[in-house]
């Protein structure tokens, strides 16, 4: 007989924790009704998106309002859930909320999990989620309950296989928990099922620590709150170490594939000396040289005060925001896609690099040749299944340090700098993606899952589960659905124009960036470091329910 592994005391207590459910969901899906808002349009490229989604384009937003809905719960339904993309704290609670929401409507409703991400749909690998199974994972981090993956379901064969497997298992709905790419995929599947007359709803749930899947109705993606708290604890500890030893410059690269929300949030939480924001670099069209000049300016000024130490935050997506690097990466994306077969036969990085350089226009070829070997090799790595550069594997902080050394040596020679530049590098990403969800993320994800159950039971297909008014107490949160096509635009992926959910980047005119910009000169020269400490699960609400600066500024709860 299988024996249960012992769990940590924290896990035991977190499993027993009961998240607060928004009032509107409390009685279950039989007592709420979907109220339709106005018809919607996509955020851009309306004609192109409409053409690709003839059946799901323009659907109205949905809000749940009180009212008996007797049809729900009459017939038992079978729902499948899949976790897709990078891990984010709270995924298990989405499943717990979904399970409880379905069972509340009809005890005979069933929930299954496709295993290993979207590939589980294609391989028909699934597991029934039972009450006993769910109990061990409530309020825990990770996606290990059913695992995750990055397979994209896009070819006609894959779409047909997905539909056939869902039909074979007699599923009424599929819930996809994912980021912008996975939810784009949810939109594609919803459209495909409608086109093929299949009565299977597809519902998305907004997940990503990156915080870039948001809009008016999706105030934040889950996982951002916990991950930024974990990174901020570590960065705060580094700030204190720096201030104690006063001998190193620490360069910390933080996850966030495209947008710099994580870096900006951690900057607010810890007040380091320098923070680079990718979106600002792009807006100011800063070259690599200008970025180095900016960093060197602060390093030299601090050295003049005898401070040869500091903390620099670098968003992992920075490299794609530097205009010349952006152009190089775009050209590499096309070249790697066009010459996939030829490149796969080459065994060494040098061979691949020489081949690529021979195909690039002169300016980009010169840039590629000038990059350190390691960075050039990292830029040529395989793209992920959605066509994205795997920025988590590119050590941008090392590129910056190498260029800074050259710059500072030149300044020293010219008698303009007399400091020491000893560096230590860090990359914080994977460390924050599977932590126990914060109280906010545990509550938010449980509500997102419960709400997704209500959307599935109401046959709302092509919608993203939306729980809003998040700066209010959880009992007052509002619930509903946002059409996936509403968030889409056309972007170039793997050498082709594709409909994708538009990422929400840091807005330079927004309150979160503005508040940071106001203070950064002070942080640069002083040691106004903040030490947020570890995520707190028990204790005063002031610390357990502390929201992010991003959410508080964006929703007007902080000025």
Asked if 391 is part of the footprint of ligand FBP (rule: CB under 6 A), the reply reads yes
Dihedral sign computed on CA atoms, order 271, 276, 281, 286: positive
Per CB under 6 A, which region of 28-36, 205-213, 328-336, 470-478 contacts ligand FBP? 205-213
Counting Cα atoms < 13 Å in the Cβ hemisphere of 382 gives 6
* CB 524, CB 238: distance < 8 Å: no
Out of 86, 278, 387, 435, the only residue in the binding site for ligand FBP (CB under 6 A) is: 86
User: Cα–Cα distances in Å, from 406 out to 33, 110, 175, 287, 401?
Assistant: 64, 62, 52, 16, 9
Who contacts 290 (Cβ-Cβ below 8 Å, separation ≥6)? Answer: 284
Asked if 383 is part of the footprint of ligand FBP (rule: CB under 6 A), the reply reads no
Who contacts 33 (Cβ-Cβ below 8 Å, separation ≥6)? Answer: 64, 65, 66, 67, 69, 458
Nearer Cβ to ligand FBP (208/271) = 208
Asked if 447 is part of the footprint of ligand FBP (rule: CB under 6 A), the reply reads no
Asked if 394 is part of the footprint of ligand FBP (rule: CB under 6 A), the reply reads no
Nearer Cβ to ligand FBP (109/185) = 185
Indicate which residue of 180, 210, 212, 441 is catalytic: 210
Asked if 278 is part of the footprint of ligand FBP (rule: CB under 6 A), the reply reads no
Asked if 209 is part of the footprint of ligand FBP (rule: CB under 6 A), the reply reads yes
Asked if 142 is part of the footprint of ligand FBP (rule: CB under 6 A), the reply reads no
Q: 235-264: which residues touch ligand FBP (CB under 6 A)?
A: 255-257
Asked if 229 is part of the footprint of ligand FBP (rule: CB under 6 A), the reply reads no
Nearer Cβ to ligand FBP (303/501) = 501
Asked if 85 is part of the footprint of ligand FBP (rule: CB under 6 A), the reply reads yes
d(CA 430, CA 209): 10
* CB 465, CB 207: distance < 8 Å: no
Q: Is 384 a catalytic residue?
A: no
Least CB distance to ligand FBP at residue 102 (A): 25
Beta strands in 332-447 (DSSP E): 423-428
Number of residues that bind ligand FBP (CB under 6 A): 17
Nearest CA among 544, 477, 466 for reference residue 20: 477
Least CB distance to ligand FBP at residue 316 (A): 6
Nearer Cβ to ligand FBP (281/474) = 281
The neighbour count for residue 345, using CB atoms within 10 Å, is 7
Per CB under 6 A, which region of 84-92, 168-176, 373-381, 437-445 contacts ligand FBP? 84-92
Residues 527-556 vs ligand FBP: string with x where CB under 6 A?
------------------------------
* CB 146, CB 115: distance < 8 Å: yes
Nearer Cβ to ligand FBP (260/273) = 260
Asked if 385 is part of the footprint of ligand FBP (rule: CB under 6 A), the reply reads no
Nearer Cβ to ligand FBP (255/404) = 255
Per CB under 6 A, which region of 14-22, 201-209, 337-345, 419-427 contacts ligand FBP? 201-209
Out of 91, 117, 179, 419, the only residue in the binding site for ligand FBP (CB under 6 A) is: 179
Dihedral sign computed on CA atoms, order 167, 168, 173, 176: negative
Least CB distance to ligand FBP at residue 262 (A): 7
Nearer Cβ to ligand FBP (207/302) = 207
Out of 392, 423, 471, 547, the only residue in the binding site for ligand FBP (CB under 6 A) is: 392
DSSP percent split of the chain into helix, strand, coil, nearest 5? 45, 15, 40
Nearer Cβ to ligand FBP (105/319) = 319
d(CA 137, CA 96): 8
Strand 478-483 to strand 62-66: parallel, antiparallel, or no bridges (unpaired)? antiparallel
337 by Cβ neighbours in 10 Å (0-12 / 13-18 / 19+) ranks as middle
d(CA 104, CA 119): 30
* CB 243, CB 294: distance < 8 Å: no
Asked if 299 is part of the footprint of ligand FBP (rule: CB under 6 A), the reply reads no
Torsion of the alpha carbons at 46, 47, 49 and 52, rounded to the nearest 10? 160
Out of 201, 208, 271, 273, the only residue in the binding site for ligand FBP (CB under 6 A) is: 208
Where does this chain bind ligand FBP (CB under 6 A)? 85-86, 88, 150, 179, 207-210, 255-257, 316, 391-392, 429, 433
What are the residue numbers of the active site? 210
């Amino acid at each position: 007989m299988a024996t249960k592994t012992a769990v940590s005391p924290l896990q035991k207590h977190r499993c027993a924790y009961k998240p607060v459910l928004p009032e509107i969901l409390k009685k279950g899906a039989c007592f709420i009704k979907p109220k339709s808002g106005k018809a919607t349009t996509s955020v851009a490229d309306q004609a192109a998106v409409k053409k690709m989604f003839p059946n799901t384009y323009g659907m109205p937003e949905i809000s749940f309002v009180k009212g008996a809905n007797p049809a729900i719960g009459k017939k038992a339904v079978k729902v499948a859930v899949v976790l897709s993309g990078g891990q984010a704290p709270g995924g298990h609670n989405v499943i717990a909320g979904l399970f409880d929401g379905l069972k509340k409507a009809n005890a005979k409703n069933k929930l299954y999990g496709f295993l290993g991400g979207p590939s589980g749909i294609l391989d028909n690998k699934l597991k029934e989620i039972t009450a006993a199974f769910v109990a061990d994972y409530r309020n825990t981090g990770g996606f290990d309950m059913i695992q995750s993956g990055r397979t994209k379901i896009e070819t006609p064969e894959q779409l047909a296989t997905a539909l056939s497997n869902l039909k074979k298992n007699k599923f009424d709905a599929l819930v996809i928990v994912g980021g912008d790419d996975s939810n784009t995929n949810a939109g594609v599947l919803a459209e495909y099922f409608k086109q093929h007359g299949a009565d299977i709803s597809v519902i998305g749930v907004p997940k990503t620590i990156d915080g870039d899947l948001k809009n008016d109705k999706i105030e934040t993606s889950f996982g951002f709150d916990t991950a930024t708290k974990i990174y901020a604890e570590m960065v705060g500890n580094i700030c204190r170490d720096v201030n104690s030893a006063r001998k190193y410059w620490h360069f910390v690269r933080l996850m966030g594939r495209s947008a710099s929300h994580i870096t900006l949030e951690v900057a607010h939480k810890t007040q380091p000396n320098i923070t680079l924001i990718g979106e600002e670099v792009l807006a100011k069209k800063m070259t690599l040289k200008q970025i180095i000049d900016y960093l060197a300016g602060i390093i030299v000024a601090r050295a003049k005060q005898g401070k040869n130490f500091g903390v620099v935050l670098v968003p992992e997506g920075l490299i794609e925001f530097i205009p010349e690097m952006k152009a190089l990466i775009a050209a590499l994306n096309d070249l790697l896609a066009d010459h996939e077969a030829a490149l796969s036969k080459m065994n060494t990085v040098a061979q691949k690099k020489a081949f690529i350089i021979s195909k690039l226009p002169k300016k980009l070829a010169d840039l590629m040749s000038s990059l350190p070997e390691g960075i050039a090799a990292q830029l040529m790595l395989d793209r992920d299944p959605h066509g994205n550069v795997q920025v988590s594997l590119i050590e941008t902080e090392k590129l910056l340090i190498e260029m800074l050394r050259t710059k500072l040596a030149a300044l020293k020679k010219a008698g303009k700098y007399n400091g020491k530049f000893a560096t230590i590098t860090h990359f914080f990403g994977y460390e924050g993606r599977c932590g126990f969800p914060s109280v906010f993320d545990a509550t938010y994800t449980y509500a997102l899952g419960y709400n997704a159950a209500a959307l599935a039971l109401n046959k709302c297909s092509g919608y993203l589960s939306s729980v809003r008014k998040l700066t209010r107490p959880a009992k007052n949160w509002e619930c509903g659905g946002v059409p996936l096509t509403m968030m889409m635009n056309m972007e170039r992926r793997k050498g082709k124009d594709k409909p994708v959910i538009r990422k929400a980047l840091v807005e330079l005119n927004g309150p979160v960036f503005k508040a940071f910009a106001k203070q950064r000169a002070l942080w640069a020269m002083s040691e106004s470091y903040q030490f947020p400490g570890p995520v707190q699960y028990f204790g005063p609400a002031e610390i357990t329910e502390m929201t992010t600066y991003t959410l508080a500024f964006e929703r007007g709860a902080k000025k």
